Amino acid sequence: MKFLYECPAETKICFGVSDVSLVDENLDLLNKLSQLKLFLIYGNIAEIRALQKKLQFDTENILESEGENGAIFNQLKVNAPDIIAVNTNGAGDALVGYLFSLNIINYQLNFV
């Protein structure tokens, strides 16, 4: 986490919650992360709610996956197309990448 505090001010920090259980298990680290200005927090609805119950984050954007029902980006509902999913592994990461590729999040990003 130390490197996050050493990043240039223009660096955009994105944080993905990967499992509800990881919120309680990593509360000390998440508390440190909550002290930073974040560009994006993303995860499924249960993960985001678990995080919000424990900590307040200063973030510009929130992306909540609803699985087959689409997503909510900054309180804007985005519907998902009807498909037959064979494997949903990595679906959340793909959703974030897709939104970046569409310039829905229209910023110059600096990856650390």
Residues 61-111: tens digit of each pLDDT: 999 999 889 999 888 898 888 889 899 888 888 888 887 787 655 554 444
* pTM for this entry: 0.80
DSSP state of 7: S
pLDDT at 48: 93
Instruction: Report the alpha-carbon distance of residue 96 to residue 87 in Å, rounded.
Output: 17
- 58, 37 in Cβ contact below 8 A? yes
Q: What percent of the chain has pLDDT over 90?
A: 22
Instruction: Report the alpha-carbon distance of residue 29 to residue 71 in Å, rounded.
Output: 27
